[in-house]
Structure 1
Amino acid sequence: MARFGSDSLPSRRNMKLDAFLKRNMDRAVYERIRSYEPCVVISDTINKMYMHVVLTDTCVYLTEYPPRALTAAFNFRRVRDIELVNDLPDFLHGKHRELCQHIRISYFTDQPTGRQRRWLGRDQTPGTTPATSSSQRSSRWPSVAHSSQGYPTQGNHSEHRTAEVHILAPVRSTSCPHPETLGLPRVPQPPSTAPLFLYSSTISPKPPLSPSNEGRNTPERGQVSRSIGSVLTRLVRQDHVSSEEKRETDLHLYAVSHTSRLYFHLQSLWNSFIIRSTLLLDPLYRGRCRVSTDSSPGNQNPPISWERTANLFAQLSSELLREGLGVESLYLLLQELRTAAHRNVALCRLFWRSRQMCVFLVETLEDSLRGRGHLGVYTADQLLLSTLITQTLAVMFRQTEVEPSRLNLLSAEKGALASRMLLSLICDPRLQTQNQSSEDSELQVLLSEYLDASCSLLFEMLLFGHEASRCSSTDNFLSVGWILRVLQPHPHLMSFIDHQAHQVVLVLSDQQKSFLSPFQSVLLFQRCYLLQACLRHGDRLAQHLRSHFREEFRYSVKPSCAEEKLLPHYPISQPTLRLVELVLALHR
């Protein structure tokens, strides 16, 4: 995804739309596009218009059909909920009405209410985001095209534009219905002397570093040069917004194709965004994901190309696959692979296209945890290596939802590799020891770290199963239920799930009074997701949890404790609270 070409585009391409996006987006943001799809759009200012919805990893854009102007609809930071509505829209007829998927996105906006004139004074054009600070880079990876964690590099900023209303020309698409066949009302042509504006950009994409960023629209360096009209338009818009409170609004998307995966992509990107942006509040994690964005004239580092990324990945792969590699060298190379994957999504895509690397990591994880003796004694090296492998695999899953090679690889041979990955990450959470030495205490800490990492990877696998089950392929067998059935024979599955449930009880009871860190908040979200999946899709696991944790979840787990410990400025706080309530409801 680090260059303009087929490797950086969604699997189903629209050449005309793609050319338009290249012209109207900064390169760093264009390379972050995950998917696009046409659908009928309804909002406060849009009434049943057939438009393209363009999804990036941080923001959702809208453009006419065919494309004329591009506007940011909302940032995932503002989203409150994404749901699939079970209804039949009255403005569609025939097969389009039956096949339609109605998606409602609730989000917070600063835009004023009422039917007053909308001013499209964008604070930033699509692709202009605040620059992040410079950091040291690995010698193997001199620079990356963008951070995979929500920090695009500062590219060339395009001139400020406004978007006018246009009549939707009846252009035929090979993959979508003719707009006129949907029975949509015609949009009247505005007078040329008094142009109307289509809709207002609700938010400009920027990283959620702190709660103080919320609502701030301060121009960054390189964005000061604006036309006089653009400045006046922005000032008028700010005057309108300043007199209004934040309000919740809805965007309705009606996908009229039976093969649409728009809802799946929105849910996946939102989950990925809230996890990533919450973790970025942690300085250590942010330092791991930081990339160099110093674009000053004296220090210009061009983004790494797809070809260069592929070359460096091939070098690293050959070193990892070399025979006779020592444990220390293996650990250092895996650290390099994990760090590079954090910073460059293109490398994650290459990972899934290289079957050898995935098989190697799974085999290494199997050998590492299988090396335990009959007494159940772990070694520090085994736990450290297993944790690093598990973390690396979890990073590879993130932000590769639309990568077809991931599904192809894990579903090959009836899911043989996916089964091995699932079974290899489960271990006995009990440290078998006969004395309480300082070494045993250290091993217990390392084991706890591995159990945290394995929960994160299992969470990614459950998301993968949920996503794969929504594929249109009739022979696709992957699902959350399939994952739990694969894990069922594992001798330590019940004790592993008990450990994860006990950690949730510990966090959500009065035993701990401190606030949760960003990492702990994400881990609570992932553990609650794991528990609700077991309660919904695993009969034996659900019965086990209800019988062994009935009293704890009835009397000890309190949503009020979760609300007190999850800081309100964490993007993941509200989704976690909803998951906690769901787990409690399913546990009854």
Structure 2
Amino acid sequence: MARTGSGSLLYRRNVKLDHFLKINTERTVYERIRAYEPCVVVSKTINKVYMHVVLSDECVYLTEYPPRTLTTAFSFRRVRDIELINDLPDFLSGKDRELCQHIRVTYLPERPTTKSRDWLRRDKKEGLPPAAPPYRRNSHCPTVMQTSDEFPALRTQSANGTEEVPMLPPTRSASWPNQESLGLLKVPHPPAPPHRRSSSSSPSPPDQRVNISESGQVPRRIGSFLSRLLRRDDMKDKEEREAELHFYAVSETSRFYLHLQSSWNSFIIRSTLLLDPLYRRRCSISSDSPPEKRPPAISLERTAHLFGQLTAELLQKEISVESLYLLLQELRTAAHRNAALRRLFWRSSEVCAFLVQTLEDSLHGCQSLTADQLLLSTLIVQTLAVMFRETEVEPARHFLLSAKKGALASRMLLALLCDPVLKSGNQRSLVDCELQALLADYLDAACSLLFEMLLLGQEASRCSPFDNFLSVGWILRVMQPHPHLLAFISYQAQHVVLVLSDLQEPFLSPAQSVLLFQRCRLLLACLQYNSHLAHHLRSHFREEFRYSVKLSYAREKLPPHYPISQPTLRLVEQILTLHKPLLTNTRALMFEKGL
């Protein structure tokens, strides 16, 4: 479950909010909540209301302070940008004003429909259903269904059934409780006088308030006050237009911005990859099979049991390469489908250490690489990369990677680097060409894993100013002594240039687009956090980034309907911007020398 708090890498639980979320949401929704934090919320229709912001892997919800109802603020599929704004809010004062983090989310509001999808809206003849059994309605958010086929080798038997994405049934009054829940009374500074409050945040008149009867039923109502506020602008016209939602976290060390960025990154990567039918089959997501024919989600207990069996088989002595490969395939496939399994992976330190050791032995234990070694190494790196997805709030992951001054993380970083060029004779045989293709697959997977490590490093850089372990700078410094680092980074830069040149195919596939996004994040980190790598990239790729990599080419390569296209274009623009000072200084130096 998510944690909340500030001042440390691991969050403290808010027991009251956690209990509210647990009893008012289905298990499939509750397990996907990643973090929550109290923030001052500001939008065009919400005027500085102190609320809980609840973050899942697909949506951001808002609930009152204290919690009463839960309403969807926006879905990540509608987000266009998430920024950290450097300003001092006028409505705060003193230390709170200086420590506040201002987060701005730009998104496209949902289009109004004839039948609202908000879980708080009911039919005029329908009242609030009893608390048990829970009321269910289909969600409008895309959801990855977890099935009992998550472990293909370790088969389980389960009855066919449906697992709809449940919406959130309120068990308390859906109206605002009082004036205090509408103001900034929880922020440590004097609240505004009541007569100065915004008219949009005034409480409902007494005759419109909802009271819970002894039978647990409430009178019919159109929807919550907050829900109407979030959707009022959408009803004015049907054209899509950008809206802004502002979060003010009164804490200098708040990690909520990083959680928002991480969740958004995970969502745009997953939703882009899901456009590929092969990836959908790997995740057992089929648009052709109706929900009623999908098996129910596997239980946490069953997941833990099957993971324990798989772990025992992986760690057995003298396991053959063939058996190891098949078991790792099963582990990777199950991790794609089951978020709970990814959390269990980090709680079992033996499995992660075993994979790192196997990667070291397979990739660096011999003078020359074979096809079997490359295939096994690629599968190990792909498995590790999947395990990082959506597990940033898992405490076991931080404890494992930061233990002993980041010993295991250092081994993982150094193990994944290799020479991108095979050493062979003057004449390249067919076997060498096949090995080079396998090596290219490995280097793609290694970039994806390094991308996940850099996301981890960004969080550590932000929230642990006195601890350099696992920060982006620390990650790049650990890899710097490796003899193949510069060749590895050059390989990734060359492929960015090749993909964005006008000599390539007109459109990128979903997998190619995701890989381009990850490579751009890697290059941007090198330019921003490591002077040695930045100098290498600027000196060796100055002409390529000047003439070949253009934003117009990138727009032609990235289909606009890919969720990852716009974030990738922003990364390309940042990379090109960081190269401009170098070009100017180079021309000035040549002019001074008369060249």
TM-score tier by shorter-chain length is 0.7 to 0.9
Q: The residue matched to 1:87 in structure 2 has which SS?
A: coil
Q: The residue matched to 2:91 in structure 1 has which SS?
A: coil
**Match in the other structure for 2:258:** 264
1:122 equivalent in alignment to 2:117: yes
Residue 357 of structure 1, aligned match among 328, 332, 351 = 351
**Cα gap change, 1:158 to 1:369, in 2 (>3 Å):** closer
Residue 287 of structure 1, aligned match among 275, 281, 306 = 281
**Match in the other structure for 1:405:** 396
Query: Is the 8 Å Cα contact of residues 179 and 203 (structure 2) preserved in structure 1?
Result: no
In 1, Cα distance between the equivalents of 2:155 and 2:510? 27
**Match in the other structure for 2:178:** 167
**Match in the other structure for 1:255:** 249
In 1, Cα distance between the equivalents of 2:242 and 2:576? 27
In 2, Cα distance between the equivalents of 1:36 and 1:239? 26
**Cα gap change, 1:468 to 1:153, in 2 (>3 Å):** farther
Query: Is the 8 Å Cα contact of residues 462 and 483 (structure 1) preserved in structure 2?
Result: yes
Query: Is the 8 Å Cα contact of residues 64 and 181 (structure 2) preserved in structure 1?
Result: no
Report the alpha carbon displacement of residue 127 of structure 1 after superposing the two structures with TM: 7.5
1:413-449, Cα deviation, whole Å (9 max, x unpaired): 1111111000000000002222332222211111110
**Cα gap change, 1:584 to 1:185, in 2 (>3 Å):** farther
**Match in the other structure for 1:80:** 80
Report the alpha carbon displacement of residue 182 of structure 1 after superposing the two structures with TM: 5.4
**Match in the other structure for 1:91:** 91
In 2, Cα distance between the equivalents of 1:71 and 1:483? 39
Partner letter of residue 154 of structure 2?
A: R
In 2, Cα distance between the equivalents of 1:578 and 1:332? 39
1:57 equivalent in alignment to 2:57: yes
Return 5+ residue gaps in structure 2 as ranges.
3-9, 121-135, 195-200, 211-218, 581-595
In 1, Cα distance between the equivalents of 2:190 and 2:233? 39
Residue 437 of structure 2, aligned match among 434, 438, 445 = 445
Q: The residue matched to 1:453 in structure 2 has which SS?
A: helix
Partner letter of residue 506 of structure 2?
A: S
**Match in the other structure for 1:208:** none
Query: Is the 8 Å Cα contact of residues 517 and 568 (structure 2) preserved in structure 1?
Result: yes
**Cα gap change, 1:360 to 1:73, in 2 (>3 Å):** same
Q: How does 1:478-517 map to 2 (within 5 A)?
A: 478-517=470-509
Q: The residue matched to 2:567 in structure 1 has which SS?
A: helix
Report the alpha carbon displacement of residue 406 of structure 1 after superposing the two structures with TM: 1.0
1:472-506, Cα deviation, whole Å (9 max, x unpaired): 47335321111111111111111111111100000
**Match in the other structure for 2:299:** 305
Query: Is the 8 Å Cα contact of residues 39 and 50 (structure 1) preserved in structure 2?
Result: yes
Residue 587 of structure 1, aligned match among 560, 568, 579 = 579
Query: Is the 8 Å Cα contact of residues 509 and 556 (structure 1) preserved in structure 2?
Result: yes
Q: The residue matched to 1:36 in structure 2 has which SS?
A: strand
In 2, Cα distance between the equivalents of 1:22 and 1:503? 46
Query: Is the 8 Å Cα contact of residues 71 and 163 (structure 1) preserved in structure 2?
Result: no
In 1, Cα distance between the equivalents of 2:550 and 2:190? 49
Query: Is the 8 Å Cα contact of residues 29 and 127 (structure 1) preserved in structure 2?
Result: no
Partner letter of residue 263 of structure 1?
A: Y
1:557 equivalent in alignment to 2:571: no
**Cα gap change, 1:387 to 1:323, in 2 (>3 Å):** same
Return 5+ residue gaps in structure 1 as ranges.
3-9, 113-117, 145-151, 197-226
Partner letter of residue 348 of structure 2?
A: S
Partner letter of residue 572 of structure 1?
A: I
Task: Tell me the matched-pair count.
Answer: 528
Residue 203 of structure 2, aligned match among 170, 176, 189 = 189
In 2, Cα distance between the equivalents of 1:155 and 1:542? 46
Partner letter of residue 527 of structure 1?
A: R
Partner letter of residue 178 of structure 1?
A: K
1:178 equivalent in alignment to 2:186: yes
**Cα gap change, 1:158 to 1:459, in 2 (>3 Å):** closer
1:304-329, Cα deviation, whole Å (9 max, x unpaired): 23222222111111100000100000
In 1, Cα distance between the equivalents of 2:337 and 2:23? 25
In 1, Cα distance between the equivalents of 2:560 and 2:279? 20
Task: Name the TM-score, length of structure 1 as normaliser.
Answer: 0.82
Task: Name the TM-score, length of structure 2 as normaliser.
Answer: 0.81
**Cα gap change, 1:295 to 1:562, in 2 (>3 Å):** closer
1:244 equivalent in alignment to 2:238: yes
Give % identity.
63
In 2, Cα distance between the equivalents of 1:500 and 1:127? 45
Residue 514 of structure 2, aligned match among 522, 530, 537 = 522
Partner letter of residue 88 of structure 2?
A: L
Query: Is the 8 Å Cα contact of residues 185 and 191 (structure 2) preserved in structure 1?
Result: no
Partner letter of residue 584 of structure 1?
A: L
1:371 equivalent in alignment to 2:388: no
Query: Is the 8 Å Cα contact of residues 153 and 330 (structure 2) preserved in structure 1?
Result: no
**Match in the other structure for 2:316:** 322
Partner letter of residue 87 of structure 1?
A: D
**Match in the other structure for 2:586:** none
In 2, Cα distance between the equivalents of 1:37 and 1:248? 24
**Which piece of structure 1 moves more, 257-266 or 386-395?**
257-266
Residue 339 of structure 2, aligned match among 326, 341, 345 = 345
**Cα gap change, 1:559 to 1:182, in 2 (>3 Å):** farther
In 2, Cα distance between the equivalents of 1:228 and 1:412? 55
Report the alpha carbon displacement of residue 21 of structure 1 after superposing the two structures with TM: 1.7
Q: The residue matched to 2:408 in structure 1 has which SS?
A: helix
**Match in the other structure for 1:471:** 463
In 2, Cα distance between the equivalents of 1:158 and 1:414? 43
In 2, Cα distance between the equivalents of 1:29 and 1:573? 28
**Cα gap change, 1:399 to 1:381, in 2 (>3 Å):** same
Partner letter of residue 50 of structure 2?
A: Y
**Higher gyration radius (CA):** 2
**Cα gap change, 1:422 to 1:153, in 2 (>3 Å):** farther
Query: Is the 8 Å Cα contact of residues 26 and 128 (structure 1) preserved in structure 2?
Result: no
1:162-193, Cα deviation, whole Å (9 max, x unpaired): 9544435479xxxx983473535655332133
Partner letter of residue 68 of structure 1?
A: R
1:212-234, Cα deviation, whole Å (9 max, x unpaired): xxxxxxxxxxxxxxx99769x99
In 2, Cα distance between the equivalents of 1:159 and 1:477? 43
In 1, Cα distance between the equivalents of 2:470 and 2:167? 43
Query: Is the 8 Å Cα contact of residues 143 and 301 (structure 1) preserved in structure 2?
Result: no
**Cα gap change, 1:389 to 1:322, in 2 (>3 Å):** same
**Match in the other structure for 2:376:** 385
Q: The residue matched to 2:317 in structure 1 has which SS?
A: coil
Q: How does 1:331-342 map to 2 (within 5 A)?
A: 331-342=325-336
Partner letter of residue 443 of structure 2?
A: L
In 2, Cα distance between the equivalents of 1:104 and 1:119? 30
**Match in the other structure for 1:224:** none
Q: The residue matched to 2:51 in structure 1 has which SS?
A: strand
